[in-house]
Amino acid sequence: MSAAGPPEGARPLRREDVRGAASAPSAEEAWRSAFELRDGELYAEGVPLATIAERYGTPCYVYSRAALEGAWRSLDAALAGVPHLLCYAMKANANLAVLDVFARLGSGFDIVSGGELARVVAAGGDPGRTVFSGVGKSAAEMRQALDAGILCFNVESAAELERLDAVARERGRVAPVSFRVNPDVDPKTHPYISTGLKESKFGIAYGDALPLYRRARAMPGIAIRGIDIHIGSQITDLAPYREAARKVLDLVDRLAGEGIRLEHVDLGGGLGIRYRDETPLPVDEYAAMLRGLFEGRAEKLVLEPGRWLVADAGVLLTRVEYLKPGPAKHFAIVDAAMNDLLRPALYDAWHGVDPVRPRAGPGSRWEIVGPVCESADFLAHDRVLDLEPGDLLAIRTAGAYAMAMSSNYNARPRAAEVMVDGDRAHLVRRRETASELHAAESTLAR
C-alpha cells in the first residue's frame, strides 16, 4: 500500500538544512546509531520502523540522513590536508534525496549514463564536479555531458576516444578526458565485482595507456586532464589499493617526463563494508596510505566511493506473510522479493535480518523467501528467528544496490523509499502502482 503523505510535521529537505561539520558523527557512529533498538523496538534515528511501515506500507526502503552525512564527512575529514574531490558513485543508490544530501556537502558524482547525469542536475548537483565512467558511452550521452560541462570523461578505450574527439569537434567543444587504465591488480574480491584484471571489459590495458595519451595529445577535440583506475568493489585489504596506486603514479610520472602533465589522479572506489564477518579497512588507515602516496605531488586526488557511503544507511522493511514449516527447511514467506533486493540471488550475498519487534524466544531456523516465482527468490538462508505471521523484518545494509537494482519482475510495483531525518520521515519516492507498469504499452489494433 502507499501512504498519502509524510508524517505530520514533516517537510521537504532544504538546502539550508546542512548541519555543521563540527557536530558530525563518524561513519561508524552514524550507521551504528541510525538503526537501533529502543525499548524493544527498532528505530530509524528518531522514528520507529513500525510507524514507517504502517504509514507507507511494505516492502519499503528506509534511509538515514545522519548515516549518509556521517560517512561522507568522515572520509572527507580523514583526507584533510590532501587536495581531493569525493565523487559519489551514484549507481549504488540514485534516489534524488540521497544525491541531494551529498550535493549539499559539496560532493562530486561518478556517473555511468546520461540518465544518471540528468539525476545529478535534478538533485542540484554540480556537473562540473562530475566524472563520466563506463565502457559504452553513446554519442548522445557524450553531447549531453559536453553541454552540461562535466569535469571529465573517464575514457575506457581507443575507440571511445576517437568517437569523443569527433563528437566534441562537431559540437564546437573540447572534451576533458581522463583515461581509465587497467593496472591488472587482483583486488581479492567476488569475481563479478573485480574490475582491474586484464581479463576485465573495463579500462585501457596498462601497456597501451602511454601510446594512447600521445595520440590524445594531438587530437583537437580532446583536453587531457587526468588518469583513472578502479580495481573492484568490496575490497578489505590495503595491499591491492597500494599496488594499483603505485603503478598508476609511475605512469603519471612517465607522462610528465613527456610533457603530459595531469591535473588529477582518480583512484576509484571499492572500499568494503561489513555485511557479515568482513573486516573493513579503517578509514584512517586508508587515508594514511593515500596521504603517503600523494605527499608532495601536484595532482589532485579524486575518489569514487559508493557502497561505503550508503549501504549501512539503509534497510529494507518487509512483512512476514506466511510461515511454511517443512521436513527439510522452514520457509518464512515475506512481501519483499528478489526484485526488491537482487544481491542474494545474484551474488549469494549475505544481509543481516532483524525483527523490528524481536521476541525473547529461542526461535527456529528460517529461509527468508519472497513471492516471486523463482527458486532463486530468497533474501536470507538459515536465520534463527522467533517469527509469527505479520511480523516486520529489517533487511540490513540495503542502502546500496537494492532499489538501484530493483525491477518489476512478475509485474511487481517497485517499493516506496523513505528518508529519515531525526524525528521526521520524508517520502522520497512513492510506491509504483500496477497501472503505471503498463501505461507505456499498447495492445494490437483490432
Which residues are marked as active site?
373
Contact between 108 and 130 (Cβ < 8 Å): yes
The grid coordinates of residue 309 equal: 557511503
DSSP of 117-182, one letter per residue?
A: HHHHHHTT--GGGEEE--S---HHHHHHHHHHT-SEEEE-SHHHHHHHHHHHHHHT--EEEEEEEE
d(Cα 357, Cα 41) in Å, to the nearest integer? Answer: 5
E strand or H helix at 321: strand 314-324
Q: Which residues contact 22 (CB under 8 A, 6 or more apart)?
A: none
d(Cα 444, Cα 81) in Å, to the nearest integer? Answer: 64
Pairing of strands 300-303, 84-89: parallel
Pairing of strands 222-228, 264-266: parallel
SS3 25: coil
Q: What residues pair up with 261 in beta bridges, in sequence order?
A: none
Nearest of 142, 148, 149, 145 to residue 165 by alpha carbon: 142
The grid coordinates of residue 404 equal: 538501484
Nearest of 99, 101, 97 to residue 117 by alpha carbon: 99
- Amino acid, res. 243: E
Cα dihedral sign, 12-13-17-20? positive
SS3 302: strand
